[in-house]
Amino acid sequence: MRAVLLGPPGAGKGTQAVRLVEKYGVPQISTGDIFRANIKAGTELGKKAQEYTNSGKLVPDELVCDLVKDRLMHDDCKNGYLLDGFPRTIFQAEQLDKFLEEMGQKLDAVINFEIGNEVLIERLTGRRICKGCGAGYHVVNLPPKVEGVCDKCGGELEQRKDDSRETAENRLSVYEESTAPLIEYYSKTGALKNFNADQDPDVVFAEIVAELGE
């Protein structure tokens, strides 16, 4: 299975990725992991990426593509992989298609999670963290027994700045501008598979497996 995960923050990509990797026995590949691995190993590509990250600049698309293509040549990718966070732009998608064509391969699916912004904002802003022990909760999906109080240590629960509505709206705006155009791109290639992410995770997973096959 060679697949790409698409969807806005809060759509449940991480939850499904874990299950899909286990189901199909393929590695989950993210650009963040690739950057860290190459920087740690001191590869030439890693050194180039570090120059950009150290100066606070975005790693250029060309270098991101080179790093991903290098990763896809590893032995553990022979039977497939699950790309998470790549491609993020049309240029990256085109480079991936070109690479796959050269390798005599193609994507089996681009798994797109569809969900409304208000539901996403509720998910993204509902997280609460215990000041004492760091335990995590969600006001809707995993609420504490007593509002604002940690079940484990009785500590006070707080909402972090990264979980504010303003931050959530900004993250969704960035997604719409940079990554959402990929939906149109992949719909034209026939690889796009849309799934309603506003359902129980078990239902979403079952629908994806039914589409991809056993």
Over residues 125-178, the pLDDT tens digits come to 999 999 999 999 999 889 999 999 999 999 999 998 888 999 999 989 988 888
DSSP run (H or E) holding 157? strand 157-158
Kindly state the helix (H) or strand (E) to which residue 181 belongs, with its residue range. helix 181-189
Q: Which of 49, 47, 87 is nearest to 69 (CA)?
A: 87
More confident residue, 133 or 54: 133
Question: From CA 203, how far away is CA 135, in angstroms rounded?
Answer: 27
pLDDT exceeds cutoff 90 at 185:
yes
pLDDT for residue 109 is more than 90: yes
pLDDT of residue 179: 84
List of domains in the chain: 2-26+79-116+169-212 (3.40.50.300)
pLDDT (0 to 100) of residue 79: 92
Collapsed DSSP state (helix, strand, coil) of residue 198: coil
Provide the pLDDT for residue 58.
Answer: 82
Annotated catalytic residues are 13, 88, 127, 160, 171
Question: At 28, phi and psi to the nearest 5?
Answer: -90, 125
pLDDT at 197: 95
- The per-residue pLDDT for 178 is 84
pLDDT, mean of residues 9-18:
90
* Contact criterion met (CB below 8 Å) for 158 and 148: no
What is the predicted pLDDT for the residue at 140? Answer: 87
